[in-house]
Chain A
Amino acid sequence: MSPRLRLFLFAAACLCLVPAVISVARHMPMFGDHPMPYGDAINALAPVQRHVSNMISAVNFDYRGFDTLGEEFMLLCAVTGTVVLLRGTRGEQLSARPGIVPGQPILLRSPAAVLICRIFAPAIVLFGIYVVLHAMTTPGGGFQGGVIIASGFVLLFVGEGYEVWRRMVRSPVLAACEGLGATTYALCGFASMLAGHPFLQNFLPFGTLRDVFSGGLMQIQNAGIAFAVAGGFGTVLLEFLEETRAIKPDDAGPGDGT
């Protein structure tokens, strides 16, 4: 297709679509206008019913906690699929050398970059833990905190290089975090069934409003999500970063992965 014909088609499509877009835009609700009753209902009910000031956590872990269970296992499946696909063509040995790009010299890291990473890696992990712990009071929660913790690990790779990073971040630990976190969330549901309530019913004492440890069962669910997300994102990042190492004799070729 010649560029002129393409431009002509683009102009024709614009002529057809622009009136429709303008007409739709004129009939949309005003910016910031929300006619739905649910947001206001949750804002009014959650502090009274669940003693929680972060409504998003209340919705995610309590009012629609079963949905979050499904999302949790979707993440688990996605991580498992990524690991299976990426590990197909290489072994699992820990002592590999970093790979090299042909024609590009290996430069030493500047001390400033190493220092910045050494300062910020623990700080970011700490901030992630803070976000996880304050899930019931301030914005954030297990998912956000977990991703922040996992991205803190990456600074180890940036600052210290492949070999140190590989010694410090261990795949079985991350896998255990991921699996145990997801199991914890599911077990919360069965625990409330054992206590004689419906699945995932929040049966623990709710605590006081605006307290870090308010929310009852939501605290345990939140901790489970945090472990699962930190472990899951950590595993995905680790498996991708493993692709940058030098290939080893025990690795299968690209064609004969099993």
Chain B
Amino acid sequence: MSTLIVVLLLLTALAGAGVVIARDPRRQVLTMAANGLVLTCLFMALQAPDVAFSELAVGTAAVPLLFLVVLASIRMDRRLKPGDESDPDGAQ
């Protein structure tokens, strides 16, 4: 087991603990993306580039993005205002 892998395993433990310790949802999403990035590096070091690709695309880009969108959607005011009843497209 080389030094690189030991360092990456320690980083993985740190990043995973970071996801658990973070309490703010947006911070949690970002720490999760960071964890995905560390895992990508670990998979590369373990000579599994295929898995690293999947982890990078899904764990670092797609899933955090979906969570961020959900958080944004929750914070939005999604009630219909009385003024919008007519035709919102006509105003453009």
Contact = CB atoms under 8 A, between A and B. Distances in A.
Interface stretch (A110-118, A195-203, A208-216, A242-250): A242-250
A79 interface: no
A247 B79 contact: yes
A151 B57 contact: yes
A158 to B, nearest CB: 9
Q: Is the interface of B mostly helix, strand, loop or mixed?
A: helix
A247 B62 contact: no
B50 A140 contact: yes
A251 B50 CA distance: 42
Contact of B62 (A141, A147, A241, A244): A147
Interface residues of A, number: 33
Nearest to A243: B73
A241 B68 CA distance: 10
A62 B2 CA distance: 34
B49 interface: yes
Nearest to B84: A249
Given A31-B1, A248-B88, A154 B65 contact: yes
B20 to A, nearest CB: 14
B22 interface: no
A70 interface: no
Contacts of A151: 57, 61-62, 65
A182 interface: no
Contacts of A144: 50, 53-54, 57
B10 interface: no
A56 B58 CA distance: 18
Interface of B: 1, 49-50, 53-54, 57-58, 61-62, 65-66, 69-70, 72-73, 75-80, 84-85, 88-89, 92
9 interchain residue pairs of minimum CB distance: A139-B49, A147-B57, A144-B53, A243-B73, A99-B76, A151-B61, A102-B77, A240-B69, A56-B50
27 contacts: A31-B1, A95-B92, A96-B88, A97-B88, A99-B77, A101-B76, A101-B77, A131-B53, A139-B49, A139-B50, A140-B53, A144-B50, A148-B53, A151-B57, A151-B61, A154-B61, A154-B65, A240-B69, A243-B69, A243-B73, A244-B73, A246-B78, A247-B78, A248-B80, A249-B80, A249-B84, A251-B80
